[in-house]
Structure 1
Amino acid sequence: MIKFSILIAHYNNGKYFKECYQSLINQTYENWEVIIIDDASTDHSVEMIQSLIKNDSRFKLYHNIINQGCGFTKAACIQYAQGDLCAYLDPDDAIYPEALEKTVHEFIHKNDLAAVYSQMRLCDENLTPKSTYAGTKQIYNNRYFFNCPIQVAHFFVFKRETYLRTKGINPNLKNAVDQDLYLKILEQGEVKYLKEPLYLYRIHSHGISQDKAKQSAKESFARVIHETMKRRGLKAINNKTVPEIFTSSQEIFELLNYQNNRIERLISKIKVTLDSI
């Protein structure tokens, strides 16, 4: 039976973790483990987490001695994972009860999959669903896909063996960590899109991806994209030269502007349709 590892990089989110925990123990799929690494939280989060998981051996809690940041902590999570499949879950978010079962089902029926991703529901601070994130779509996966604008998001499930064939998450990243993961995994094989929400994404003032961090995230995403272009050996995109050295986020995003015009979007849609036949 396929084992599933849920990976949680945690920092100061104890007040929200109970709902995350509840969504895990309510899963219809039973063969799973949860790896939690606390990144030197400064509040009472660790005590709150320990009180919830203390009698359940499926949960394993580890600690960074000093605060290392999101990239380091997420990269470390997978070093402890023993599952065949892995997915990251933020400690202030949650997943639907059938999230694991439905994604495992896809891997069972298509052996060459590298990853499966789904839609997500945007929620308020109380985790009450408000809308489905509109950006998530079926993609045409090739070396010119950079997830910009974002089309692949949570819930993103991947094979651990696939991850181990990559360089892994860049531990120095503070933002755009998930994008770094997605692009590296997508280079390794086929991806399946589930057109239904399996993930509950909480929007709140303390979230690292909220407005005050957007500019920093944009800069990090551009660096991730540039590194991806170099890793894929791309010298030019749409007849424009890929810079040898990163100088600005604007320069990188301008290379991809052509993908947003009407003709390119139509071509992409046709490719997706043909790929699904």
Structure 2
Amino acid sequence: MIKFSILIANYNNGKYFEDCYNSLISQTYKNWEAVIVDDASTDDSIEVIKAFIKNDPRFKLYHNPANKGCGFTKRECMKYAEGEICAYLDPDDALYPEALEKTINEFIQNTEIVAAYSQMMLCEDDLTPNKVFASTKQIYNSRYFFNCPTQFAHFFAFKKEIYLKTSGINPNLKSAVDQDLYLKILEHGDVKYIKEPLYLYRLHSNGISQQSAKQSAKESFAKVIYETMKRRGIRKINNQTVPESYTSSQEIYELLNYQTNKLHRLINKIKVALDL
């Protein structure tokens, strides 16, 4: 039976952990583990997490000695993962009860795929479902796919053996960490789209800080895309030259503007249909 590793990088999310925990112990698929790495939280996260997981051997809790950031902590999670299939779950989010079972079934039915991703449900601050994240689509995976504009996010599950073929998550990234992971994994094979929400994504009410975080993520994502272009040996995109060195996020996003036009999207839809 395939083992599923759920990876949780926690920082000051103790007050939300109960929902995350309950969603894991309610899974219909039983062969899983949860690897939690706490990034030197300053709230009561450790006490809260310990109280919930108690002596349940499926949960493994580790600590960073000092605050290291998201990239470092998510990379640490992978060091301890024992499952053949891995996926990240943020401690303030949750999974639908059949999330692991439905994901595992895709890997069983499609042995050649390297990853699978689903739709996600956007939720209120109390995790009440609001609406499905509309941007998630079936993608056409090519060396020019950068998930920009966003076409998939959570729930993203991948083979550990494939992760080990990459350079791994960049430990220096503070944001756009998941995007970095997606693009590295997709360089090694095909991905399966699960057209239903398996992930409950909590939208926090702190709008101002969220906006600044979005801007920071946009900058980081541009750098991730640039590194991806370099890693893939791409020198020209849509007859535009990829710069020798990174200068600004605007320059990178302008290279990809063509991917939002109707003709490009139509061509990709046709390619997807022919692949299916």
TM-score by length of 1: 0.98
Q: Which amino acid in structure 2 is aligned with residue 131 of structure 1?
A: K
CA distance in 2, matches of 1:72, 1:131: 32
Q: Map residues 163-242 of structure 1 onto 2, 5 A cutoff.
A: 163-205=163-205, 210-242=210-242
Q: Deviations over 1:157-198 (max 9, x none)?
A: 000000000000100000100000000001111100000000
Q: Which residue of 2 aligns with 1:22?
A: 22
CA distance in 2, matches of 1:101, 1:14: 27
Q: CA deviation at 1:4?
A: 0.3
Do the aligned partners of 1:209 and 1:217 also contact (CA within 8 Å) in 2? Answer: no
Q: Which residue of 2 aligns with 1:145?
A: 145
Unpaired segments ≥5 residues, structure 1: none
Aligned to 1:62, what secondary structure does the other structure show? Answer: strand
Deviates more, 1:186-195 or 1:203-212: 203-212
Q: CA deviation at 1:65?
A: 0.5
CA distance in 1, matches of 2:207, 2:56: 28
CA distance in 2, matches of 1:187, 1:228: 10
Q: Deviations over 1:247-277 (max 9, x none)?
A: 000000000001111111111111111111x
**4+ runs of 1 displaced by more than 4 Å?**
206-209
Q: Which amino acid in structure 2 is aligned with residue 152 of structure 1?
A: F
Determine if the alignment matches structure 1 residue 91 to structure 2 residue 100.
Answer: no
CA distance in 2, matches of 1:169, 1:208: 28
Q: Which residue of 1 aligns with 2:102?
A: 102
Q: CA RMSD in A?
A: 1.2
Q: Percent identity?
A: 72
Q: CA deviation at 1:212?
A: 2.1
Q: Which amino acid in structure 2 is aligned with residue 70 of structure 1?
A: C
CA distance in 1, matches of 2:146, 2:231: 12
Q: Deviations over 1:116-157 (max 9, x none)?
A: 000000001100000000000000000000000111110000
Aligned to 2:217, what secondary structure does the other structure show? Answer: helix
CA distance in 2, matches of 1:220, 1:50: 33
CA distance in 2, matches of 1:145, 1:167: 19
Q: CA deviation at 1:31?
A: 0.4
How many residues align? The count is 276
Cα distance change, pair 207–59 in 1 and its aligned pair in 2 (3 A): farther
Aligned to 2:86, what secondary structure does the other structure show? Answer: strand
Q: Which residue of 2 aligns with 1:262?
A: 262
CA distance in 1, matches of 2:194, 2:210: 26
Q: CA deviation at 1:109?
A: 1.0
Unpaired segments ≥5 residues, structure 2: none
Aligned to 2:114, what secondary structure does the other structure show? Answer: strand
Aligned to 1:200, what secondary structure does the other structure show? Answer: strand
Q: CA deviation at 1:55?
A: 2.1
Q: Which residue of 1 aligns with 2:248?
A: 248
Q: CA deviation at 1:244?
A: 1.3
Determine if the alignment matches structure 1 residue 161 to structure 2 residue 161.
Answer: yes
Cα distance change, pair 93–208 in 1 and its aligned pair in 2 (3 A): farther
Q: CA deviation at 1:208?
A: 11
CA distance in 2, matches of 1:208, 1:8: 25
CA distance in 2, matches of 1:105, 1:145: 26
Q: Which residue of 2 aligns with 1:122?
A: 122
Q: Which residue of 1 aligns with 2:73?
A: 73
Aligned to 1:36, what secondary structure does the other structure show? Answer: strand
Q: CA deviation at 1:209?
A: 8.5
Aligned to 2:148, what secondary structure does the other structure show? Answer: coil
TM-score by length of 2: 0.98
Cα distance change, pair 208–178 in 1 and its aligned pair in 2 (3 A): farther
Q: Deviations over 1:193-219 (max 9, x none)?
A: 000000000011469992121111110
Q: CA deviation at 1:110?
A: 1.1
Aligned to 2:246, what secondary structure does the other structure show? Answer: coil
Do the aligned partners of 1:7 and 1:77 also contact (CA within 8 Å) in 2? Answer: yes
Q: Which residue of 1 aligns with 2:13?
A: 13
